[in-house]
Chains A and B, each alone.
Chain A
Amino acid sequence: MSQVACFHCGEPVQTGSQFTTLINDQLQPMCCPGCQAVSAAIIDAGLTNYYKYRTEPGSKQTALVPDELTTYSAFDLKEVQQDFVHTSDATCNVSLTIDGITCAACAWLIEHKLKTVPGINSISVNTTTERALVNWDPTIVKLSEILTLISQIGYQAAPYQVDDEEIQSKSNSRKFLLRLGLAGFATMQVIMFALALYSDYFTDLDIEYRDYFRWVSMIFAAPVVFYSAQPFYFSALRSMLSGRLNMDVSVSIAICGAYIASCIATVSGQGEVYFESVSMFTFFLLLGRFFEQNARQKASVSSNNLHKLIPLTANLIDAQGQHSEVPAKRLKIGDLILVKPGEVIAADGELVNGRSSINEAMLTGEQMPVAKVAGSQVFAGTINVDHPIEVKVTAIGQDQLVAEIIRLQEAASNNKPKVALYVDTISNYFTWTILIVAGLTYMVWKTYWPEDAFWVTLSVLVATCPCALALATPTAVTCATGLFTRIGVVAKKPGVFEKLPKIEHVVFDKTGTLTCGSLTIAHIELYSDLSEQRALSIAAALESSSLHPIARAFEKYRDNSILTHKNRNLSGLGIKANIDDGTFFIGSARFINAELNIELPTIGHQAVYLANQANLIARFDLVDEIRPDAAATVNQLKAMHCDVSIASGDSSSHVDEVAASISINSVYKSLKPSEKLALIESLQKRQAVAMFGDGINDAPVLAGANLSIAMGSGAAVTKNSADLILLGDQLSRFVDAVKIAKLTGKVIRQNLLWALGYNFFIIPLAVTGHVVPYIAAIGMSASSLIVVANSLRLLKVRV
Chain B
Amino acid sequence: MSIIYVLIPIAMLFVLIAVGIFFWAVKSEQFDDLDRQSVSILFDDDIKKPKEAAQDESKPL
User: 7 tightest CB-CB pairs across the interface, nearest first?
Assistant: A46-B54, A46-B51, A46-B50, A104-B39, A126-B33, A128-B33, A181-B22
Indicate if the CB atoms of A104 and B50 lie closer than 8 Å. no
A368 close to chain B: CB less than 8 A? no
Contacts of B36 in A (CB 8 A): 104, 107, 125-128
Indicate if the CB atoms of B26 and A181 lie closer than 8 Å. yes
A189 close to chain B: CB less than 8 A? yes
Contacts of B52 in A (CB 8 A): 46
Indicate if the CB atoms of A182 and B19 lie closer than 8 Å. yes
Over the window 12-52 of chain B, the binary record of Cβ atoms lying under 8 Å from chain A Cβ atoms (1 yes, 0 no) is 10010011001100110001111110111011001100111
Closest residue to B37 on the A side, CB-wise? Answer: A104
Within the complex, the shortest CB–CB distance from A270 to chain B, in Å, comes to 23
Indicate if the CB atoms of A108 and B35 lie closer than 8 Å. no
Within the complex, the shortest CB–CB distance from A670 to chain B, in Å, comes to 45
- Given A181-B22, A216-B8, also A49-B47 (CB < 8 A): yes
Indicate if the CB atoms of A49 and B46 lie closer than 8 Å. yes
| A interface residues with partner B (beta carbon < 8 Å) | 44-49, 53, 55, 103-105, 107-108, 112, 116, 125-129, 174, 177-178, 181-182, 185-186, 189, 206, 209, 212, 216, 219-220
Closest residue to A52 on the B side, CB-wise? Answer: B42
Within the complex, the shortest CB–CB distance from A349 to chain B, in Å, comes to 42
- Given A127-B33, A209-B1, also A219-B54 (CB < 8 A): no
Contacts of A45 in B (CB 8 A): 54
- Given A46-B54, A53-B42, A108-B43, also A216-B19 (CB < 8 A): no
- Given A128-B36, A212-B5, A216-B8, also A49-B43 (CB < 8 A): yes
Contacts of A178 in B (CB 8 A): 22-23, 26
Contacts of A174 in B (CB 8 A): 26-27, 31
Interface of A is mostly: helix
Interface of B is mostly: helix
Within the complex, the shortest CB–CB distance from B50 to chain A, in Å, comes to 4
Closest residue to A24 on the B side, CB-wise? Answer: B50
Contacts of B53 in A (CB 8 A): 46
Indicate if the CB atoms of B12 and A219 lie closer than 8 Å. yes
Within the complex, the shortest CB–CB distance from B31 to chain A, in Å, comes to 6
Of the A-B pairs whose beta carbons lie under 8 Å apart in the complex, a sample of 20, sorted by A's number, is A46-B47, A46-B52, A46-B55, A49-B43, A49-B47, A53-B43, A103-B35, A104-B39, A105-B39, A108-B40, A127-B33, A128-B33, A128-B35, A174-B26, A174-B27, A174-B31, A182-B23, A185-B18, A189-B11, A206-B1
| B interface residues with partner A (beta carbon < 8 Å) | 1, 4-5, 8, 11-12, 15, 18-19, 22-23, 26-27, 31-36, 38-40, 42-43, 46-47, 50-55
Indicate if the CB atoms of A177 and B31 lie closer than 8 Å. yes
In Å, the complex CA distance between A206 and B31 comes to 44
In Å, the complex CA distance between A220 and B19 comes to 12
Within the complex, the shortest CB–CB distance from A279 to chain B, in Å, comes to 13
Closest residue to B27 on the A side, CB-wise? Answer: A174
Contacts of B31 in A (CB 8 A): 174, 177
Within the complex, the shortest CB–CB distance from A43 to chain B, in Å, comes to 8
Contacts of B38 in A (CB 8 A): 104
In Å, the complex CA distance between A306 and B21 comes to 35
Contacts of A206 in B (CB 8 A): 1
Within the complex, the shortest CB–CB distance from A389 to chain B, in Å, comes to 43
Partner pick for B32 among A49, A126, A189, A212, CB 8 A cutoff: A126
In Å, the complex CA distance between A177 and B50 comes to 39
Within the complex, the shortest CB–CB distance from A390 to chain B, in Å, comes to 45
In Å, the complex CA distance between A248 and B12 comes to 30
Partner pick for A53 among B4, B39, B50, B54, CB 8 A cutoff: B39
In Å, the complex CA distance between A321 and B30 comes to 54
Within the complex, the shortest CB–CB distance from A297 to chain B, in Å, comes to 11
In Å, the complex CA distance between A181 and B55 comes to 47
Contacts of A108 in B (CB 8 A): 40, 43
Contacts of B51 in A (CB 8 A): 46, 116
